[in-house]
Amino acid sequence: MIVALTVAGLVLLALEILTPTFGVLAAMAIAALVAGVWLAFSLSPAAGAIVLIAYAVGVPLYLVVLVRRLPRSKAGRGLFLRSSEPAGGEAAPESAALAALVGRTATAETDLHPVGAIHIDGRRVIAAAESGMIDKGQTVRVVRARGSDVIVRRCDN
């Protein structure tokens, strides 16, 4: 019976990872595992201690292996989304145009606390201050542009 409760608990944990049950299956898994420990302790204190130690080591290890291996398995490939574009949004339409702004100066069109708008090349671009806050009207330099994110730094005149 202890083995059946253990298997049930581990299967329920796997199903909790795969389905959005908001913890319902996880609670059932914990109940099954606790029942397994209780049943083992009712047989003998030594058996209970062995099962408790096995759960304390085995369940976290099982979860780590499950989370790492499941997306790469045949079943997991059908369940998990794969990213089709590079990280950071380099596929954004304006990415190249914004990357060309790096090193150029602009004027803060609004306060950047830390996000606001700058005026550069006759157009308005949403930008974020690299650190701190930048007041409206200050001169800024574009220090980084990745995807649609533009990072600026206050120019010290």
Question: What pLDDT, in 10s, does the model give residues 78-101?
Answer: 777 766 555 555 555 677 788 888
Which uninterrupted H or E stretch holds 98?
helix 95-99
d(CA 126, CA 106): 12
pLDDT in tens, 3-16: 999 999 999 999 99
Q: Residue 40: what pLDDT?
A: 96
Average pLDDT over residues 23-37: 96
- So what's the pLDDT on residue 89? 52
Q: Which two tokens stand for residue 156?
A: 């010290």
Q: Where are the domains of the chain?
A: 2-79, 95-154
Residues 6+ away with beta carbon under 8 Å from 129: 112, 113, 114, 115, 116, 140, 151, 152, 153, 154
Confidence at residue 78, expressed as pLDDT on a 0 to 100 scale: 76
- The pLDDT > 70 percentage for the chain reads 92
The pTM of this model reads 0.51
Q: Which CATH number fits domain 95-154: 3.40.50.2300, 2.40.110.10, 2.40.50.140, 3.30.1060.10?
A: 2.40.50.140
Return the amino acid letter for 123: R
In the chain, % of residues over pLDDT 90: 61
Predicted confidence at residue 91, as pLDDT, reads 54
Contact yes or no for 116/109 (Cβ under 8 A): yes
Residue 98 contacts residue 134 (beta carbons within 8 Å):
no
Amino acid symbol at 118: I
